[in-house]
Structure 1
Amino acid sequence: MKTALITGANKSIGFETARQLVQQGYFVYLGSRDIKKGQQAVSQLQAEGLHQVEPIEMDVDDMESIKAAREVLGQKTQVLDVLINNAGIPGNFPQTASETDSSVFKQVFETNFFGVIEVTQAFMDLLRQSPEPRIVNVTSGLGSLTLHSDPSWKYYEVKPACYVSSKAALNAYTIVLAHDLRDTSFKINAVDPGYTATDFNNHSGPGTVADAAARVVKAAVLGPDGPTGQFFSDDNAPETGISPW
């Protein structure tokens, strides 16, 4: 049975991603900063008859918490097939490039960028034991520098400085990580789940959590001939599914 670890998975897109992966036969370790909320999420899935899931306490902003989670997971499995870096924060609003204090940038980057790096490196040894390891970095269409430079883009005026910068950095990390591991069986991609109605945006998005999670899952279960080092976005590129960087 393949295994997956999802950060920030006790609600919204992460939770639905866990549900869909369990339904596809994966054993999912549901990462949650608050273990009680993680346990509640697991209980909900188990009530639906989905039992291949366990909570893992992990705060991606805290290296000691990440190390502790790695130790716990290592006691449960020697192989991790899928890592989904889903945890993320928008930061306080408004966010302008000229006036927002650097402390807000640092806070957002700590979760959306540095947290991803630290989690990925902490679990890399378990991923290397998988014959077909997959890493999915959940990004945003707002991380596209190309589109942010195009006045005709539908989200051109939406530029929360801290969030945009953090996701653009995450996209860059995805590219260099995929290049690092290009001669292995790793598939490493960034996925924009789309503008989805979640707590993250006060349920303002038009998309459903189910559709958003399906996009993430698609990248998580790529076969050996699947792409790596790509930026998937049905929202930004409905015809090809590949967003410009």
Structure 2
Amino acid sequence: MDKVAYFISDAHLGIEPPGCLPNREERLVELLRSWKGNASHVVIVGDLFEFWFEYRDYISKNHLALIRALADLVESGVSVHLFRGNHDFALGNFFEKSVGVNVHDSAVLEIQGKRIYVAHGDGVIKSDWKYRLYRKILDCSVNRWLFGMFHPDWGMALARFVGRNSRKAGENKVIPLDEYLEWGNGILREKACDICIHGHHHLAGIWKQENGIVASPGEWIKKFTVLRLENGELSLMNIDC
């Protein structure tokens, strides 16, 4: 019997937004450690961090326990995958070179006989055109270099300020779930996949579509939810740890 594969998304570690559950990062570390020995894959579907930027000689000390837990999983033989989200898209080569984690923008994973397309899901709906433009500006190599000139403490403070204000602006935004499902159904057909897993909108669910299954792990902020793939069957778990 195959070991279990787990998918988690949108932890936004590094901040404590209003209404969030306590000790989120510590509880996620405990969960990761509990998967050692019984998981084949651990897939983090974007926005693990509220913000991540790899300075040449700087890694945030606030996430060392989490990084160690990921490294322990890799060393135990678990295939760990980390996808870039809209908050932590500036992931460099630290996790791949120093931790052994596979880092992607999007990818097709073959697990338990299933072809699974995974991406964070940001920028895929029509109303995200402003974000797509914003992302191109931030991804510009010159702008990345300029940001790297900031002292890390200043850079982190600036990023948290921007993230906090963007979160307030989006609090009352209606999530166009139908657009996400339409996109996912198209991906299933285009990539010849059985399952499309994405995050970004923080809604946990498994939706049967014409071309397969579209699913989202949900979030690790106000609810702790995880997708579990066992014997080729996908299920949604509410975590109480």
- Shorter-chain TM-score: which interval? 0.3 to 0.5
TM-score (norm 2): 0.35
Query: Which fold has the larger relative contact order, with Cα–Cα distance below 8 Å and residues 6 or more apart in sequence?
Result: 2
TM-score (norm 1): 0.35
